[in-house]
Amino acid sequence: MQLQSNKISWSVRSKEDKTSKQNKSHWFTWIFPIGGLLALIWFLVRVIPKPSRAMYPCQRTAFPLASGFVIWLAGAVGSITAFRRAKHCFAQSRYILCVILIAASVGSIWLAQGVTTEKTLWADEPTSNAPIGIAKGVHPGRVVWAHNPDATDWEGPGNGYWWENSHTNQAVVNQMMSRAIRALSGDRTSDAAWDKLFKHFNKTHGKGDAVYKSGEKIFIKVNYVGCIKVWSRQPVTNLEDYKLRSLDYMNASPHMIIALLDQLVNEAGVNEADITVGDTLCYFPNEFYNMCHAKFPNVRYLDYVGKFGRTKAKLSSVPFYWSTPDADEKDTDYAPASYVEADYLINMANLKSHNDQAGITLCAKNHYGSLVRKPARNQGYYDMHKELPYNKPGMGHYRPLVDLMGHKHLGGKTMLYLIDGLYAGKHAKERSPRKWNISPFNGDWSSSLFASQDPVAIDSVGFDFLWTEWDDGPHQSGTTDYLVEAAMADTPPSGTFYDPDHKGNISRLKSLGVYEHWNNPVDKQYSRNLGTGKGIELIKLNRALKLAAATGYYPN
């Protein structure tokens, strides 16, 4: 009797569990369509009144779900319609058409599922022409792109080295630099262009409507990561230790440095002795030093070691604070003395992806080489790399790059941003540059120079080029998060109080520039080019284009 009672009890519970599972399964089938519909409504309500909101992390998260819902709905409707018609054809003995319609029904569901899954996996795919942030510069948001394939003539590894005079044309690079500076300012002559750039910087930094004054110092931060010395255990005891080790690596081009020095000395009127150029974490190799020193012997060439004519990088007493509680118990970083002593900075980065951690390495990432830490490999300092996309993918996170871009003696002193794109490559995946396939390079070297006064805009343009050319590092989730955070530094999606100048939350950074993606890789147009917004304006210069004949670059 007890056994029969237990069987009846088990049977009742089994039916209840089955009913519960059926109800739960029935409920789960509605989670995606309901969630997708709500995401679609949320996206439309938020983005239609203000399109720039499409770049917000919450909208980037909602968009794949919303678009996936639309695709799923279209697939479901198409599948049901095809199946019903198949039944009708079967009843009429039209068997061939019936089979075709059944295949179409199954195919609609399969295609919708595949596209939906693909969309959902990439939550921070670039959205075209939806600028956020406040554009900077004489001409706000302007980025100049100078491209001239005559600047480069190298067959590749095994045919000498890209940086040799026989493979890089100094006269063409000088012309590219001159044209880029003039197009950036909108002036016909280089001296007038520099005056305007300095005036704008001084006026926006509380120094009045002043041009460059004799005796003011300029520091040029280049990227010599292929010559990094701070982690090396090999002491420098003789000149041979300064030889270039990775001969084909994509370091800052000595020809591009010479072109910039030529502009500063011979056009802007800066005394050689008031210019310092180098990378605080690296050595200045003989091959590059000899080329630059021969042209401008009185310029100070700075590096980590400071021997054989170089100037040694030193720390100042000005602290650098990270805007994250994770750094509270870490050793304090300090700005380099050469930065603090300078009146102006010029950030000359390289056009490279960063396949192992950051996705891209442009002007912002160039400052990872700005902080000199003593002693080397001291683990007491805050680890800048743990917040890179490889370790923290996705959007809406604290990014140390924003602190570097905003500190008063780093990004705060930068009056010009440049990206050396003569020979672009993949750091640190490969040890030599790559030829590019996208138009207008078409299997040749990138042979380019980018210039801007907006740190967010120039990295946004660099990202678009790298994203289009390569499908690995730049496509890493979270690669552009620092650009969103920087553009919205006053109200960042992460909620971080960015204030690298103070210990504690005292003075929040303002928007550091404008962030936007171009309309497509062929036209390469941004909102100011299209007249649809106050984002980026990309000025394209090629060897066939004469500046004097180009409209819109100069005032009437």
| CA quadruple 452, 456, 458, 461: dihedral sign | negative
Q: State whether 431 and 290 are in the same domain.
A: yes
- Mean pLDDT confidence for 394-398: 94
Q: Classify residue 403: in a domain, yes or no.
A: yes
pLDDT digit string (tens) for 139-181?
999 999 999 999 999 999 999 999 999 999 999 999 999 999 9
Q: Which domain holds residue 116?
A: 2-121
pLDDT digit string (tens) for 220-237?
999 999 998 876 767 788
Lowest mean pLDDT among 92-106, 294-308, 498-512: 92-106
Nearest CA-CA partner of 130 in 361, 460, 440, 354: 460
Please give the pLDDT value at position 84.
Answer: 74
- Mean pLDDT confidence for 373-398: 84
Please give the pLDDT value at position 117.
Answer: 40
Helix axes 95-121, 57-91, angle to 10 degrees: 170
Domain C-terminal end among 55, 87, 121: 121
From residue 284, alpha-carbon distances to 58, 311, 336 in Å are 45, 10, 17
Please give the pLDDT value at position 418.
Answer: 98
Q: State whether 355 and 472 are in the same domain.
A: yes
Q: State whether 249 and 339 are in the same domain.
A: yes
Q: State whether 99 and 156 are in the same domain.
A: no
Structure tokens at 146: 């100078």
Please give the pLDDT value at position 372.
Answer: 82
Confidence of residue 516 (pLDDT cuts 50, 70, 90): very high
Strand 218-221 to strand 275-278: parallel, antiparallel, or no bridges (unpaired)?
A: parallel
Q: Residue 128 forms beta bridges with which residues?
A: 517
The CB-based long-range contact list for 288-291 (8 Å cut-off, 24+ gap) reads 288/163, 288/244, 288/251, 288/252, 288/254, 288/257, 289/242, 291/163, 291/165, 291/254, 291/255, 291/258
Lowest mean pLDDT among 154-158, 240-244, 372-376: 372-376
pLDDT digit string (tens) for 75-127?
666 667 766 776 777 676 676 766 776 776 666 555 555 444 433 333 456 78
Please give the pLDDT value at position 172.
Answer: 97
Q: Which residue has the higher pLDDT, 356 or 297?
A: 297
Q: State whether 172 and 66 are in the same domain.
A: no
Cβ atoms of residues 364 and 400 within 8 Å: no
Cβ atoms of residues 331 and 380 within 8 Å: yes
- CA dist 173 and 151 (Å) reads 6
Q: Classify residue 554: in a domain, yes or no.
A: no
Q: State whether 183 and 86 are in the same domain.
A: no
Q: State whether 234 and 333 are in the same domain.
A: yes
Three-class DSSP labels, 414-478: EEEEEEEEEEEEEECCCCCCCCECCCCCCCECCCEEEEECCHHHHHHHHHHHHHHHCCCHHHCCC
Q: Classify residue 556: in a domain, yes or no.
A: no
Please give the pLDDT value at position 545.
Answer: 57
Which residue has tokens 């992390």?
Answer: 57
pLDDT digit string (tens) for 16-51?
444 444 444 444 445 556 766 776 776 677 666 655
Q: State whether 10 and 92 are in the same domain.
A: yes
Q: Classify residue 142: in a domain, yes or no.
A: yes
Q: State whether 47 and 190 are in the same domain.
A: no
Q: Classify residue 352: in a domain, yes or no.
A: yes
Q: State whether 180 and 274 are in the same domain.
A: yes
Q: Which residue has the higher pLDDT, 448 or 550?
A: 448
Structurally, the chain folds into a number of domains equal to 2
Q: Classify residue 178: in a domain, yes or no.
A: yes
Lowest mean pLDDT among 93-102, 355-364, 517-526: 93-102
Q: Classify residue 260: in a domain, yes or no.
A: yes
Please give the pLDDT value at position 186.
Answer: 97
